[in-house]
Amino acid sequence: MDIPNLTSPAQFIGKQSKDTISFGSGQPDLPPPEEAFRGISMRRDMRYGMIQGEEALREKLSREYSGSTAQNFVITNGASEALDLLFRVLPRGNLLLGKPYYYSYVPIIKAGGLNPVCTELEEGRINMEDFESKVRECKAVLINSPSNPTGRVENIKTLKEIEKITHDLGVYVISDEVYKDLIYERENYIIKGEHVITVNSFSKTYCLCGLRVGYLWSPDKSIVDNCIEMKTHTSMNTCLLAQDVALNTMDTPKSYVANQLKIWKERRDFIYKELLGLGLDLWKPEGAFYVLPKINKPREFVWRLYKQYNTISYLGEWFGAPDRVRFSYALSVNQIEEGIGRIKKCLDGMNGK
Ligand SMILES: Cc1ncc(COP(=O)(O)O)c(C=O)c1O
């Protein structure tokens, strides 16, 4: 079988037909909260908006970050733009991140002119010994808990140790918290400190990936100002209508997230049990909605599964895990069940059964 050079998820993103099962893209299939679209007017003022973001949204967000004001935020085109801006404005030098990592990190860290340095995750979590030995040569670290692609959540003890070490060294911590509301095992612990920069978005918690609204929060005025300056010359303001929708979601009752979490947990339990049943070696996800099992000949597997079984999965190689394949379980249990059947057929076919 001829396997094309699968270099990035771009080859799969947005590919969908009636019979496609996509374990690819990490976008929730559940409905956004009803509150999101209430009273939204297409006729709102459509002149350029503030580059930093609409004051009302920043003001409302600041109530969730104790001791903050609207000045600590920049509203961005999803978490993606917040990360991109940060990598362009942080002090030049090494940036430490866990491997496996979210596939966009390394390309945008490099594009921003920083040098990515990886700490190999152990069972999907940070090994503090390795982290400590590398952090001293770095200007910033990037934490993503719960993680895409591992689905793992860092221990609170680890997060507190990172808080202390980076504080003592004066190293910036970028905490990518786009999955912070999707934890199955325990409450989240939000990393704090004067060098901490939080990145978040409305994409995952509120099932609004296409809205493209996210933000960064920082107590460091120079970081906020430099991001605003960079955004002035790149994308300018984030879509005003989209910011209205984002502001509305902040009135969503807490029960919305609690109900979603029950659904995600049921799916997590199902896919984890089924993949173990196929004899695959994988970590149990504790948050987000991804599994990253080891697979023999992953390139052949991903291509065969797509071409012969119309089922999309992502190569672990894109996430720095070349012996694994990532499955997103943002699908109904019925679709996951159908997909597992196809994965089984594909694996059997590759094993000559
Ligand atoms: C870890 C992580 N960070 C950031 C993003 C980007 O999210 P957004 O839609 O807010 O740009 C994603 C999207 O999958 C992600 O998994």
* Of 103, 90, 274, 296, the residue nearest 173 (C-alpha): 90
Ligand 1 center–CA 345 separation, angstroms? 31
- pLDDT of the residue at 33: 97
Read off the pLDDT band of 353 (50, 70, 90). confident
| Segment among 41-45, 90-94, 170-174, 226-230 with least mean pLDDT | 41-45
Q: Are 119 and 130 in contact (CB under 8 A)?
A: yes
Q: Is residue 77 pLDDT above 90, yes or no?
A: yes
Q: What is the DSSP letter of 251?
A: T
| Element at 231 (helix H, strand E) | helix 221-233
205 Cβ inside 6 Å of ligand 1: no
- pLDDT of the residue at 185: 83
Which ligand 1 atom is the nearest neighbour of the CA of 209?
A: 9
3 state DSSP class of 223: helix
Q: Is residue 9 pLDDT above 90, yes or no?
A: no
- pLDDT of the residue at 18: 82
Q: Is residue 352 pLDDT above 90, yes or no?
A: no
Per-residue pLDDT averaged across 26-47, rounded?
94
Ligand 1 center–CA 100 separation, angstroms? 15
- pLDDT of the residue at 4: 84
Per-residue pLDDT averaged across 187-210, rounded?
94
Q: Is residue 46 pLDDT above 90, yes or no?
A: yes
6 Cβ inside 6 Å of ligand 1: no
- pLDDT of the residue at 121: 97
151 Cβ inside 6 Å of ligand 1: no
249 Cβ inside 6 Å of ligand 1: no
Which ligand 1 atom is the nearest neighbour of the CA of 82?
A: 11
pTM to 2 decimal places: 0.96
Q: Are 350 and 301 in contact (CB under 8 A)?
A: yes
3 state DSSP class of 228: helix
Distances (CA, A) of 267 to 205, 262, 313, 337, 338: 16, 9, 17, 10, 13
Burial class of residue 155 (count of CB atoms within 10 Å of its CB; 0-12, 13-18, 19+): middle
Compute the distance between CA of residue 322 and CA of residue 92 in angstroms, rounded to an integer.
Answer: 29
- Domains of the chain in start order, with CATH, are 9-31+254-350 (3.90.1150.10), 47-249 (3.40.640.10)
Q: List, edge to edge, every strand of the sheet that includes 73-76.
A: 73-76, 214-217, 196-201, 172-176, 138-143, 94-99, 115-120
Q: Is residue 15 pLDDT above 80, yes or no?
A: no
Per-residue pLDDT averaged across 55-61, rounded?
98
Distances (CA, A) of 240 to 41, 208, 211: 11, 15, 11
143 Cβ inside 6 Å of ligand 1: no
Read off the pLDDT band of 168 (50, 70, 90). very high
- If one residue of 204, 239, 290 were mutated to test the ligand 1 pocket, choosing by the most ligand atoms within 8 A of its CB, it would be 204
- If one residue of 8, 80, 211 were mutated to test the ligand 1 pocket, choosing by the most ligand atoms within 8 A of its CB, it would be 80
**pLDDT tens, position by position, 139-160:** 999 999 999 999 999 999 999 9
Token reading at 31? 């409905």
Ligand 1 center–CA 205 separation, angstroms? 11
- If one residue of 84, 97, 101, 104 were mutated to test the ligand 1 pocket, choosing by the most ligand atoms within 8 A of its CB, it would be 104
**pLDDT tens, position by position, 251-262:** 999 999 999 999
Ligand 1 center–CA 311 separation, angstroms? 22
